[in-house]
Amino acid sequence: MERAIVSSGMRPGHDPHPDWPANVAALPDAGTSTGGIALCARQPEPPSPEVAVLLRARGIPEEASTTTGD
């Protein structure tokens, strides 16, 4: 699931218009766990905007902001 979310921001040369929302939606529909997944704008490779909307609609939470003192 995490790999599909990260990959959703990519546009491979062999398929410049992949249907990532359909691919990501198919995983939990098939029983893949979404436990432990959270959306975070600071991710080095965030999901595509379309996949982020899909995940929010399916109840995937935004990662809580934390202050670490760094």
Q: Domain coordinates of the chain in residue numbers?
A: 2-57
The region that residue 2 occupies, defined by phi over 0 for left and psi between -120 and 50 for alpha, beta otherwise, is: alpha
pLDDT tens digits for 24-61? 999 999 999 998 888 887 888 888 889 999 999 999 99
CA geometry: angle 52, 21, 17, nearest 5 deg: 115
Instruction: Judge whether residue 20 has pLDDT over 90.
Output: no
Q: Residues 61-69: what's their mean pLDDT?
A: 62
What is the pLDDT, as a whole number, of residue 17?
A: 76
pTM: predicted TM-score of the whole model, two decimal places: 0.72
